[in-house]
């Protein structure tokens, strides 16, 4: 069960070059089709003044809005299960305990 293709990349030797903080799905209409987009927010400290970066990815397109909304909901919930916030996120953002 240690198939590297199935690893999420959020543990140990991560192949992912950023730390994902959240994932949000968005549905929009494009050329008469309904498109599901996924935005993964990541923490990239080396990216200048704004370390939180958006990574938009087109997931799929559907013929009906309802189908797209359903797929967006599934994708967002699945992504939310694997994304873990950074343990010292509040410290990095300057929040006091």
Please indicate, yes or no, if residue 35 is contained in any of the structural domains: yes
Please indicate, yes or no, if residue 74 is contained in any of the structural domains: yes
Please indicate, yes or no, if residue 21 is contained in any of the structural domains: yes
8 Å CB contact between 37 and 58: yes
Please indicate, yes or no, if residue 7 is contained in any of the structural domains: no
* 50-84 pLDDT tens trace: 778 888 999 999 999 999 999 999 999 998 887 76
Please indicate, yes or no, if residue 5 is contained in any of the structural domains: no
Please indicate, yes or no, if residue 2 is contained in any of the structural domains: no
Say how far apart CA 37 and CA 8 lie, in whole Å: 19
Say how far apart CA 89 and CA 17 lie, in whole Å: 17
Say how far apart CA 93 and CA 12 lie, in whole Å: 23
Name the residue range of residue 71's domain.
Answer: 17-83
Q: What is the DSSP letter of 44?
A: -
Please indicate, yes or no, if residue 12 is contained in any of the structural domains: no
Which has the closest alpha carbon to 33: 73, 67, 61?
Answer: 61
- Indicate the number of domains in the chain: 1
SS3 19: strand
Please indicate, yes or no, if residue 25 is contained in any of the structural domains: yes
* 3-47 pLDDT tens trace: 443 344 444 444 445 677 888 999 999 999 999 999 988 877 776
Identify the band that residue 89 occupies on the pLDDT scale cut at 50, 70 and 90. Answer: low
């Amino acid at each position: 069960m240690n198939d590297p293709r199935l690893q999420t990349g959020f543990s140990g030797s991560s192949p992912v070059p950023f730390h994902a903080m959240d994932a949000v799905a968005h549905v929009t209409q494009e050329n008469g089709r309904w498109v599901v987009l996924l935005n993964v927010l990541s923490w990239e400290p080396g990216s200048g003044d704004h370390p939180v970066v958006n990574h938009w990815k087109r997931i799929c397109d559907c013929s009906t809005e309802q189908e797209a909304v359903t797929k967006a909901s599934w994708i967002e919930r699945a992504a939310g299960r694997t994304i873990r916030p950074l343990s010292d996120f509040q410290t990095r953002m300057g929040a006091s305990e």
